[in-house]
Structure 1
Amino acid sequence: MTAMTSMPKHVEPNYSLITFLLFWCALIVVSSVYVTTPLIGVFVKEFQVTQTTAAWTGSIFSLFYAVGFLVLGPLADRYGRKQMIVFGLGVLSLVTFAIGFVNHLIWLIILRALQGFISAAFAPAALAYVFDVFPKRKLVTTIGFTSFGFLTAGIFGQVVAGFIDQTFDWHFVFILFGGLYLVSLLAVAKILPTTKSENTPISMAYHIKQVKKIFAQKNFRLCYVITIMLLLTFIGMYTALGDYLKNAPFYLRDKEILYVRTAGLAGMILSPFTGFLAKKLGLLVVLRVGLAVSVGGLVMLGVDTNLPVIICMSVVYVAGISLTFPAIMTLIGEWSGNIRAIAASIYTFILFIGASLGPIVTSGLMQTGSFFITFVVLAILLSGGLVASFFIRS
């Protein structure tokens, strides 16, 4: 009887588990952008400072977050995607824990800056990692779930921070998130398959050359035009909506406005299904449909004064944005090849520049005294992205 030696079989990664882990990390990492939003009033009372000074706990994070994308993002091409995710979560855990024991505003602001900078290690590395590990048939769906994490973080971070502050103390918000980052680090180290690094140079000259190469391509330029409009209008819409609902004829309280914002989660549920729609319609069609739906939602927000309709139109706007995010992230990832992390870094940098401009642009528009004008101008800005999408070529 002849002994048979079985050949070792290739073990396929557990794509569902990896997808969930990327979604989870996206949710908790990006939540750090928003956790101080419901705590501003607490900081004003505790540190005896003005609202503007207390707001620096959020603004400094966003500023260093954007800078971090440009500095840390490209390192994922050289040292490996998983390695950068692990490094980022490790340092983020330590810094976030430290914030939980701070009792002086200046140290809170300094550590929030460091927290923002190191948080930027995740998004570019995660996007590049998806393209390295997942087969093409699963790409858009996985990016959709990751985008879902990024989007829901805006609501999740505020709700969790507000609940913990009311139940315990604001310090515990950061102690909890520090613990979540540590647990996530252990899960990533254990579960995510390691990918090979590209061993690309890390010199400034090399990165400038790659950035020039990216911006030399028309498709990238058009995608980045769309990108800056996404969070600009998203943050802008919710900024205007909150002010709109506080005043006549609605006079909603902060808690009721939070419920209206939470309703936006219904629109975000579309994000994981972008892959299915892309297979049926194509990525560019999904991108254009998403932008068109969002533009329509913004216009209707300005036209109608019926509260149920306003809530529905905010959900419609978010639904369109939820389709747009994974579509544009996938297109950038497909085009960028072995400089994917650099392209993703530029994408995330521009995205959060838009987020920073959103409240500024919206505040200026609201000074006209017309919410109709505010929402319509935001719709016109996003329409510029819609027009740009028709010049993108496959």
Structure 2
Amino acid sequence: MEFPCPAPLATSPRLTATAPSTEGQPASWAPAAPAIALLTALGVLMVGQMYTVLALLHPMATALGTTPEQVTWTATAFGFAYAAGFLLAGPLSDRYGSRAVITAGLVAATAATLAVSAAPDLPTAIALRSVQGLATASFAPAALSYAVRHIAPQRRGTALTCITSGMFAAAVLLQIGAQAVEAGLGWRAVFWISAALMALSLIPVRRVLRPTLRQGTGGGLGQAFAAMPRLLRRPRLVALYLSTVALMSAFVAVYTAVAIAGPAGIAGNSSAILALRAGALPALVAVPVLAPVLQRLAAPLRTVLAFALAALTVAGGSSLGPHAVPLAIVLLLFVAAVAAAAPAVVETINAAAPHARGAAVALYGCSMFIGASLGPQLTGALTGLGFGGILRVVAAALVLGVLLALPALRHHRAA
């Protein structure tokens, strides 16, 4: 899920020019509607591969001769590889062009996803999921780069909102899709179908997306990588990256807990889990719609408020007992809070690093998927506490996220 950062990119002075003026941009803007539709759909498919296994923990455990808790390592391995790949894909996209990177990534991801479907045991599945994560990591930074370079400024905000919302919605949509496919065709079919869709996507990618003209010889790769250590020496930025780790680990931990340690009548009940996952979808529609209203608040303030709402909803959910309807409401509010927090964090990061936005966003994406990778392991380590205990620990992690975001809020008020 692709992860959500429309506002800061769209508000960059460099990106709001009325015509392309930098080397590597096209002489005329590309048609926006087909590109937005394609990149949004691909965002769901590619980023959603991180989350498919959360809906497949029990059948994969049975087939691979292990436990659902051990199968969570397939999500963790994917996430860590994705985080590393994100750091590579951003500079590669700047150097070779978005369409080229997306195309190469789709080819590699197709092969890796097919390989996962044939995994005979857990260690092999973990290794292949790592390769899959590295391959699919090519998409998100390349898609955002394409929107920035090829879509006209007046449509760019809409493009970035749709693309990043699709990436975020993938966390829910691909779990629902994977669960439905597994029920009818088995868990391996989830990866067969994903691979087929990736392969078929190569056709519209080549027809819809424009190639990016080769950039100058300024050493884009070296410059991007050199900026990253400098950013990590800034405590306020490091705190924001750590808050992102807390946010995404909490998000994935909650959904993993519902699947393997949920209240009686929900954990192991595929219909109940499907309903809970689907019940969060309205939040993923509402937050982008409400973006103009939410953006009236400064990004650091939105970050703190969204983290606080997420912590409160998770803490409240820890004491609900075996009641599905209240839990669905809690998940709806929780997902809304996370969907509002993520773009606010990245907007705050971009404002703090105006001269190294590419490196700053790459580190943000890396921190997102480190957090997403830790989430399943957090739940697995805490299963002995029960569903309520897991949610209380997650709420505490989100409170830590609030504390990590406070320095940015204080700095904003002092500026």
Give the TM-score of the pair, scaled to structure 1: 0.82
CA distance in 1, matches of 2:405, 2:348: 15
Mapped partners of 2:114, 2:362: distance in 1: 26
Instruction: Tell me the distance in 1 between the aligned counterparts of 2:33 and 2:110.
Output: 25
Conservation of the 8 A alpha-carbon contact between 2:348 and 2:408: no
Work out which of the residue numbers 310, 320, 331 in structure 2 matches 1:294. 310
Amino acid at match of 2:169: T
How far is 1:219 from its partner? Answer: 5.7
Which segment is superposed worse, 136-145 or 150-159? 136-145
Secondary structure of the corresponding residue to residue 193 of structure 1:
coil
Counterparts of 1:250-269 in structure 2, within 5 Å, are 253-269=269-285
Instruction: Establish whether residue 90 from structure 1 lines up as the match of residue 125 from structure 2.
Output: no
Cα offsets for 1:193-222 (capped at 9, x unmatched): 33345455377x655521123234566334
Residue 18 of structure 2 corresponds to none
Match of 1:201 among 219, 222, 228: 219
Alpha carbons of structure 1 residues 392 and 323: separation in structure 2 relative to 1, 3 Å: farther
Displacement after TM superposition at 1:41 (Å): 3.1
Change (3 A) 1:240 1:55: closer
Residue 381 of structure 1: aligned partner: 400
Matched to 2:41, the amino acid is W
SS in 1 for 2:410: coil
Question: Offset of 1:140 from its aligned partner?
Answer: 4.4
Distance 2:296 2:276 in 1: 32
Q: Which runs of 5+ in 2 are unaligned?
A: 1-26
CA distance in 2, matches of 1:314, 1:237: 9
Match of 1:63 among 73, 80, 87: 80
How far did residue 102 of structure 1 move?
Answer: 5.4
Q: Which structure 1 residue ranges, 5 or more long, are not aligned?
A: 1-9
Instruction: Read off the aligned partner of 2:400 and give its amino acid letter.
Output: L
Deviations 1:7-47 (A, max 9, x none): xxx85433233222221111000121122333343333334
Q: TM-score, normalised by structure 2?
A: 0.78
User: Letter of the aligned partner of 1:190 in structure 2?
Assistant: R
Q: Indicate if the aligned counterparts of 2:79 and 2:133 stay in contact, CA closer than 8 A.
A: yes
For the Cα contact (< 8 Å) 2:283–2:335, is it kept in 1?
yes
Structure 1 residue 318 corresponds to structure 2 residue 335: yes
Worse-superposed segment, 25-34 or 214-223 = 214-223
**After superposition, where does 1:207-356 map in structure 2 within 5 Å?**
207-217=224-234, 220-242=237-259, 245-247=262-264, 253-273=269-289, 275-277=291-293, 280-302=296-318, 304-305=320-321, 307-332=324-349, 339-356=356-373
Distance in 2, matches of 1:309 and 1:285, equals: 28
Q: 1:188 to 1:392 in 2, by over 3 A?
A: farther
Q: What displacement does 1:121 show?
A: 1.0
Aligned residues: 383
Task: Look up the SS of the partner of 2:318 in the other structure.
Answer: helix
User: Are the counterparts in 1 of residues 175 and 277 from structure 2 also a CA contact under 8 Å?
Assistant: no
1:134: Cα distance to partner? 4.0
Contact 1:138 1:275 in 2 (8 A): no
Q: Which amino acid aligns with 2:274?
A: L
Offset from partner CA, 1:298-324 (integer Å, 9 cap, x none): 233235556433321221121121122
* Map 1:361-376 → 2, pairs under 5 A: 361-363=378-380, 367-368=384-385, 371=389, 373-374=392-393, 376=395
Contact map agreement 2:60 2:187 (CA 8 A) in 1 = no
Between the aligned partners of 2:63 and 2:395, the Cα distance in structure 1 is: 39
Q: Does the residue aligned with 1:297 lie in a helix, a strand or coil?
A: helix
Work out the CA distance in 2 between the residues paired with 1:225 and 1:137: 33
Q: Which amino acid aligns with 2:289?
A: F
Give the partner amino acid of 2:276: V
Partner of 1:5: none
In 2, Cα distance between the equivalents of 1:189 and 1:355? 31
Residues 1:154 and 2:171 aligned together? yes
CA distance in 1, matches of 2:127, 2:81: 10
Residues 46 and 363 of structure 1, relative CA distance in 2, 3 Å threshold: closer
Larger radius of gyration: 1
Letter of the structure 2 residue corresponding to residue 322 of structure 1 = A
Structure 2 residue identity aligned to 1:74: P
For residues 44-55 of structure 1, the aligned pairs below 5 Å read: 44-51=61-68, 54-55=71-72
Shift of 1:118: 0.8
Contact in 2 for aligned 1:301/1:375 (Cα 8 Å):
no
Q: Does the C-alpha gap of structure 1 residues 127 and 339 become closer, same or farther in structure 2, counting only changes over 3 Å?
A: farther
CA 1:211–1:173 in structure 2 vs 1: closer, same or farther (change >3 Å)? same
Say which is worse superposed, 369-378 or 342-351, in terms of deviation.
Answer: 369-378
Q: Distance in 2 between matches of 1:247 and 1:127?
A: 42
Whole-Å separation in 2 of the counterparts to 1:96 and 1:266:
29
Label 1:351 to 1:294 Cα distance change in 2 as closer, same or farther (>3 A).
same
- Aligned mates of 2:261, 2:361 — CA distance in 1: 35
| Offset, 1:272 | 2.4
Please tell me whether the aligned partners of residues 76 and 376 of structure 2 are also in contact (alpha carbons under 8 angstroms).
Answer: no
Distance 1:331 1:196 in 2: 30
RMSD: 3.3
